[in-house]
Copies of this chain bind each other. A is one copy, B any other.
Amino acid sequence: MVWDAWGSPSGHKPLPDQIRGLLAQVFGVSGEPVARRDEGDVPLRASALTPEHRAGLVAVAGADNVSLGHRDRLRHAGGKSTPDLLRRRASGAQDAPDAVVFPASHDDVLALLAYCAENAIAVVPFGGGTSVVGGLDPVRTGFAAVIAVDLRRLDTLTEVDPISGTATLGAGLQGPRAEELLAAHGLSLGHFPQSFEYATIGGFAATRSSGQASAGYGRFDDMIERLRIATPAGTLDLGRAPASAAGPDLRELFSGSEGTLGIITEVTLRVHPVSETTAYQAWSFPDFATGANALRTVIQAGAAPTVMRLSDEAETGLNLARAGNIGGGSVGGCLAVTTFEGTAAHVAARSAEASALLAAAGGTALGETPAQEWEHGRFSAPYLRDALLDVGILCETLETATSWSNLANLKAKVTAALVDTLTQGGAPALVMCHISHTYPTGASLYFTVVAKQADDPIAQWAQAKRAAGDAIVAASGTITHHHAIGADHRPWMTDEIGDLGVQVLRAVKQAIDPAGILNPGKLIP
C-alpha cells in the first residue's frame, strides 16, 4: 500500500464529474485536488535503534529481514484512518517505527519477542496495515525503541481438511492470496471486509474482523477453529475441537487482543466449498425503520442470506451502495441488498424463504442489478475517501452495534452528535448510515460522514469522533462492531468492559508480557 493513501496507485481515480458537482453545490468546494508529496521527500524522524539492537534483531531474523530503510519505515508508520492520512499529508517530520523486521516463521517470532522483551524494545505486529483505529501507531514511550514486525513471510496454506472444512493459514496472508490458495482446493473462506484486498489472516483474528458476508459465513471470530500464538512467555496452541466445555474459551481472549497479548502466527479456519451459484436480489423499503424490521424478520427466522445490507435514506439518496453510480439517479427510499451463495438447491430454498419474508415486511423487489453493482464496487470506498481528502473534503466512517429495539435510538443519537459537532461553524455535514451485519438479537450501524475540511481537519474530526463515541456509549452501543479498539477507541474501553474487566486484561497481559513490549498504547486502558 502507498504510505499516505489507501491501496495501490492503480486504484486511485479522480473524482467523477457528478461528485464534483455535488461537492460544489453542497460544500462550495471546487474539486481541484492538492498534489501529494513524493514518498522519498517526506522528512522522517531518525531511527532510535542502537547498532547493538540492530545486530540483535539481525541475529534473530537475518540481515535481509531487518530494515531501517526510509520507505519501509514510512510504510509501517501506522494505519489508514482519516486522521492517519491527514497527518501524513501535513508538513513536518513523520513518525515511524525505528525498524521493520520480517520474520519467516513462528519460531522467528518467538525468538524476536524474547529478544525484545529482554531489551525493552516495543513491538507493533503488522499485517496489512489497514487499521483505522490507530492500532499500528509506533508508541515508544518508556522503551529503547519500537519496531514493526511485518508478518508477510508467514504466507502459506499449511493444512487443508476438506472433509471437516478447515484450513490452516499463515497469519501474514492477505485476503486475495488466502482465497487463491483455498480456491486451488475448491474451497473459500468467505471473509470480505472492505479491507479484504490488503488485510491479513492474522489481522482479521487479532481485531475480530467482520466481513460483508457475515450473515452467511459468520464473523471472523466465528470461523476460528485454532490459533497459534507467539508470546514473550512461549507458545499458545488453542482450540482442540469445533466446540468444547473444557473451561473458558481462550481463543476468544486472543481473538481481539490486537497484538497486546501475543502475535498470532497461524490460524485454522472454517472454510466451505466454493459456491456453486450466487443469486442477487435488491429491495427498496419506504423508510429505514421498515427496512430494518424486514432484515430482523429474516435473520430471526433463521433464513439469512449470505449478504444482507440496508442503506438509510441519506445513503440511498447518494447511491453510496452502488459505487459506479454515486450521486446518480437513486431508487429513493432505502435500498437493501441480498446475495445467496451455496449449492443451487440451497440458494433456491433460502432465497425463496428470505424473499417472501422481505416482501411481506414491506419490501419491493428491484431485481439483481443494484445488488450486483454493490458487489462490484464493494472495495472501492477507501479510494473515494482519498479523492475527497485531496479536494479539501473530510470523509470518515465509524460503526457500532446494538440490539434491534435500540437501533433507531442509537442511530438518531450518533447522527445528532456528528451533525451537531460538525455544523457548529455553520458548515453543512452529510451523515449517512447502513446496516451491514445482522444477528438474531441486533445489528451493526455503519456511519459515513462527509463535511468540508476546517483549518485543522484533524482537530475537527477528533471533536466529532469524541462526540460520536460518547453518544454511542450513552446510548448503550458498543464502541466498535468491527474496527477494533486500537489507540482511538481506548478512551471508551472502560465503559465497554468495566474497571474489573480492564483489571482482568491487565492481569493476562502481566502474565504473558511482563515487560509490556507488545503493542503498547493499544486496547488496554
Q: For the complex, is A118 an interface residue (Cβ under 8 Å from B)?
A: no
| Given A243-B219, A345-B353: A236 in contact with B501 (beta carbons within 8 A) | yes
Complex-state Cα separation, A23 to B476, whole angstroms:
60
Output the least CB separation between A32 and chain B (Å). Answer: 37
Q: For the complex, is A481 an interface residue (Cβ under 8 Å from B)?
A: yes
B residues near A11, Cβ cutoff 8 Å: none
Nearest opposing residue in chain B for A476, CB measure? B240
Contact check, A253 vs B248: say whether CB atoms are below 8 A apart: yes
B residues near A251, Cβ cutoff 8 Å: 252
Complex-state Cα separation, A508 to B208, whole angstroms:
22
Output the least CB separation between A37 and chain B (Å). Answer: 33
Q: For the complex, is A480 an interface residue (Cβ under 8 Å from B)?
A: yes
Q: For the complex, is A92 an interface residue (Cβ under 8 Å from B)?
A: no
B residues near A256, Cβ cutoff 8 Å: 245-249
For chain A, residues 500 to 525, give those with C-beta under 8 angstroms from any C-beta of chain B. Answer: 500-501, 503-508, 510-512, 523-524
Complex-state Cα separation, A352 to B166, whole angstroms:
27
B residues near A478, Cβ cutoff 8 Å: 240-241, 244-246
Nearest opposing residue in chain B for A482, CB measure? B245
Complex-state Cα separation, A477 to B511, whole angstroms:
28
Q: For the complex, is A371 an interface residue (Cβ under 8 Å from B)?
A: no
Output the least CB separation between A59 and chain B (Å). Answer: 25
User: When each residue 330-343 of chain A gets 1 if its CB lies under 8 Å from chain B and 0 otherwise, what string results?
Assistant: 00000000000011
B residues near A493, Cβ cutoff 8 Å: 246-247
Output the least CB separation between A162 and chain B (Å). Answer: 8
Contact check, A242 vs B496: say whether CB atoms are below 8 A apart: no
For chain A, residues 468 to 501, give those with C-beta under 8 angstroms from any C-beta of chain B. Answer: 476-485, 489, 493, 496-501
Q: Choose, from A43-51, A137-145, A433-441, A458-466, the stretch at the interface.
A: A433-441
Q: Say which residue of B161, B300, B401, B440 sits within 8 Å of A405 (CB atoms).
A: B161
B residues near A524, Cβ cutoff 8 Å: 247
Most buried by B among A250, A346, A443: A250
Complex-state Cα separation, A251 to B437, whole angstroms:
20
| Given A440-B165, A440-B270, A504-B512: A209 in contact with B245 (beta carbons within 8 A) | yes
For chain A, residues 138 to 173, give those with C-beta under 8 angstroms from any C-beta of chain B. Answer: 161, 163-166
Output the least CB separation between A401 and chain B (Å). Answer: 4
Q: Say which residue of B401, B404, B511 sits within 8 Å of A243 (CB atoms).
A: B401
Output the least CB separation between A518 and chain B (Å). Answer: 14
Q: For the complex, is A207 an interface residue (Cβ under 8 Å from B)?
A: yes
Complex-state Cα separation, A229 to B496, whole angstroms:
15
Nearest opposing residue in chain B for A437, CB measure? B243
Q: Say which residue of B216, B241, B247, B302 sits within 8 Å of A505 (CB atoms).
A: B247
For chain A, residues 250 to 297, give those with C-beta under 8 angstroms from any C-beta of chain B. Answer: 250-258, 261, 270, 272, 296
Beyond known contacts A242-B441, A253-B253, A346-B353: 13 more, CB 8 A cutoff: A164-B403, A165-B300, A208-B249, A231-B500, A237-B498, A238-B501, A241-B403, A241-B477, A246-B479, A246-B485, A246-B497, A249-B253, A302-B350
7 tightest Cβ-Cβ pairs between the two chains A and B: A252-B252, A507-B511, A241-B478, A242-B439, A242-B442, A164-B403, A208-B245
23 A-B interface contacts by CB (under 8 A):
A210-B245, A219-B243, A234-B499, A236-B498, A238-B498, A240-B496, A241-B401, A241-B402, A241-B442, A242-B439, A242-B440, A243-B401, A244-B401, A245-B482, A246-B479, A246-B493, A247-B256, A247-B505, A247-B524, A248-B256, A252-B252, A253-B253, A349-B352
